[in-house]
């Protein structure tokens, strides 16, 4: 399972070390794409296939669906780790996530998110509900 939070630096070639506990889940190949809230989504291949199958079922006659699909898939890239457990984050994806030098890698069960350190701190400070508020809202939904 992909869980936890890790901070890593981006080197001059745009590479970041993927935490060793995540490497086992990602295996030899995975997909990185533009995520929501100015982060990057990283999917193991099996999870990527599940997501793409769900997206294929969306109504392509809907303008917002077409826009989402274009952005989601045009930003996607097949990736693999080098021998040191690093991956190159392409320039367009670094720009999307506003990642410059420091990044935070978080595990969310079925995917990884990669955030700029500044954006992650901002999200936690300003945009995220308190943990208690989130738990209350989920309880109201029966989760």
Q: How far apart are CA 82 and CA 86, in angstroms?
A: 5
What is the bridge-based pairing of β-strands 86-88 and 102-109?
unpaired
pLDDT at res. 127: 66
Q: In whole angstroms, how large is the CA radius of gyration of the chain?
A: 16
Helical segments of the chain, H only? 20-26, 45-56, 63-74, 91-97, 117-122, 131-140
Q: How far apart are CA 51 and CA 34, in angstroms?
A: 14
Tally Cβ neighbours within 10 Å of residue 84: 8
pLDDT at res. 66: 95
pLDDT per residue, tens digit, the chain (143 aa), is: 899 999 999 999 999 999 999 999 998 899 999 999 999 999 999 999 999 999 999 999 999 999 999 999 999 999 999 999 999 999 999 999 999 999 999 999 999 999 999 999 998 887 666 777 777 888 888 87
What the chain holds in terms of domains, given with CATH numbers, is 2-116 (3.40.1550.20)
Burial of 30 (0-12, 13-18, 19+ CB in 10 A): buried
């Amino acid at each position: 399972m992909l869980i936890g939070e890790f901070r890593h630096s981006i080197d001059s070639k745009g590479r970041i070390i993927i935490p060793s506990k995540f490497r086992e889940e990602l295996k030899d190949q995975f997909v990185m794409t533009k995520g929501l809230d100015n982060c990057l989504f990283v999917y193991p291949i099996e999870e990527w296939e599940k997501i793409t199958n769900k997206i294929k079922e969306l109504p392509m006659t809907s303008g917002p669906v077409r826009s989402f699909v274009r952005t989601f898939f045009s930003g996607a890239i097949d990736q693999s780790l080098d021998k040191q457990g690093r991956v190159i984050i392409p320039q367009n994806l670094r720009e999307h996530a506003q990642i410059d030098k420091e990044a935070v890698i978080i595990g969310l069960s079925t995917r990884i998110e990669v955030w700029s350190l500044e954006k992650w701190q901002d999200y936690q400070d300003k945009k995220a509900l308190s943990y208690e508020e989130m738990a209350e809202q989920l309880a109201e939904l029966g989760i």
